[in-house]
């Protein structure tokens, strides 16, 4: 029997109670109107049925939290109070302290139930003060009750909360208002990061070729026979010398290459939003009313 805190089981639980919140309500003894403590939370089973109120006994026992079975509580939203049925200060002292850090198992619940099963009020029904014995028969609600003089026993594997309606059943005697709930799907969207695009630049190299015309100078020595070859000349004209008689400078052109950067193109980066419709489905629950009239006439309006 796994139990959950009410908000963990249904985060929007207040919508089911017309905005009311049972957490924070004051807890009072029925009859004497003495304040016991405050409801700090609610424990529900796997089907969402209330099983316990977690009560902070700050007005009776400072710093102690205990479990109050829902059948021993009556909620009155008109005065924002929860009334306990048959809970005494002595029982509160005997109840095991509730610690969220400890495991809430069958043995712990049996310790809690054992305290509430102790007779404290003659006005309480027999099954409220006496543990149930499967051999004793059935009560008017169809639940087994204990026979006098017997020692009731419970089996860990077969115990259900329905075994003890006085602890876990509805406690209003005449006009009971039952609320039937159903689940509905609430569509919402959550924005999450699916990835990222990184844009960068890299430099690639290539070999470019260019043709440049260049000029080179060279000396051409040309020997020719003059027309007056063989004619005698004077001694002064014939100047016989050795060594350098002429100097000619030789030039040539070499290519001179340089690089120049220029704008080639622009790249513009932007985001666009694509819209799509995603369909999903989920199983929702709905409560329906089952009436066991035991062949008695029932009128539904």
CA dihedral 98, 99, 103, 108 (to 10 degrees): -20
Residues in CB range of 75: below 8 A, 6 or more apart: 22, 25, 81, 82
6 class by beta-carbon count within 10 Å (0-12 exposed, 13-18 middle, 19+ buried): buried
Which range (186-190, 205-209, 218-222, 283-287) has the least confidence? 186-190
Cα 29 from Cα 35, distance rounded (Å): 6
Q: How many beta carbons lie within 10 A of that of residue 122, not counting itself?
A: 6
104 class by beta-carbon count within 10 Å (0-12 exposed, 13-18 middle, 19+ buried): middle
pLDDT tens-digit series, residues 4-36: 888 888 887 777 666 678 889 999 998 878 899
Give me 8's structure tokens. 């963990």
User: What number is the average pLDDT over the span 162-177?
Assistant: 67
Residues in CB range of 91: below 8 A, 6 or more apart: 115, 116, 118, 120
Which pLDDT belongs to residue 64? 92
Task: Calculate the average pLDDT of the chain.
Answer: 79
Beta bridge partners of 81: 26, 76
pLDDT tens-digit series, residues 62-94: 889 999 999 999 888 888 889 998 888 888 899
Does the predicted TM-score (pTM) go above 0.75? no
Q: Where are the alpha helices (DSSP H) in the chain?
A: 6-9, 89-94, 106-116, 126-129, 165-168
Which pLDDT belongs to residue 2? 85
Cα 227 from Cα 83, distance rounded (Å): 151
186 class by beta-carbon count within 10 Å (0-12 exposed, 13-18 middle, 19+ buried): exposed
The residue ranges of DSSP E strands in the chain, in sequence order, are: 4-5, 26-29, 35-44, 50-56, 65-69, 73-76, 81-84
């Amino acid at each position: 029997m796994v139990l959950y805190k009410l908000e963990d089981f249904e985060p929007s639980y207040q919508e089911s109670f017309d905005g009311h919140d049972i957490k924070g309500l004051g807890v009072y003894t029925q009859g004497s109107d003495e304040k016991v403590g405050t409801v700090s939370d609610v424990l529900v089973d796997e089907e969402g049925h209330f099983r316990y109120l977690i009560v902070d006994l700050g007005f009776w026992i400072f710093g102690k939290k205990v479990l109050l079975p829902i059948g021993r509580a009556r909620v009155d939203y008109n005065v924002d109070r929860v009334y306990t049925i048959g809970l005494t200060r002595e029982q509160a002292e005997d109840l095991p302290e509730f610690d969220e850090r400890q495991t809430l198992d069958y043995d712990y619940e049996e310790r809690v139930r054992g305290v509430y099963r102790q007779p404290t009020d003659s006005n309480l029904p027999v099954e409220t003060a006496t543990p149930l014995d499967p051999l004793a028969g059935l009560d008017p609600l169809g639940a087994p009750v204990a026979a006098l003089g017997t020692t009731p026993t419970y089996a860990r594997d077969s115990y259900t909360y329905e075994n003890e309606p006085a602890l876990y059943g509805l406690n209003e005697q005449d006009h009971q208002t039952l609320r039937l709930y159903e689940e509905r799907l609430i569509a919402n969207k959550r924005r999450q990061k699916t990835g990222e695009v990184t844009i960068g630049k890299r430099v690639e190299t290539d070999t470019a070729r260019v043709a440049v015309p260049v000029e080179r100078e060279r000396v051409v020595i040309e020997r020719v026979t003059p027309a007056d070859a063989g004619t005698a000349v004077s001694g002064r004209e014939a100047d016989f010398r050795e060594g350098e008689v002429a100097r000619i400078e030789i030039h040539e052109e070499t290519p001179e290459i340089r690089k120049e950067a220029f704008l080639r193109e622009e790249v513009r980066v932007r985001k666009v939003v694509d819209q799509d419709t995603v369909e999903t489905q989920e199983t929702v629950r709905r409560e329906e009313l089952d009436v066991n009239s035991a062949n008695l006439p029932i009128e539904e309006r």
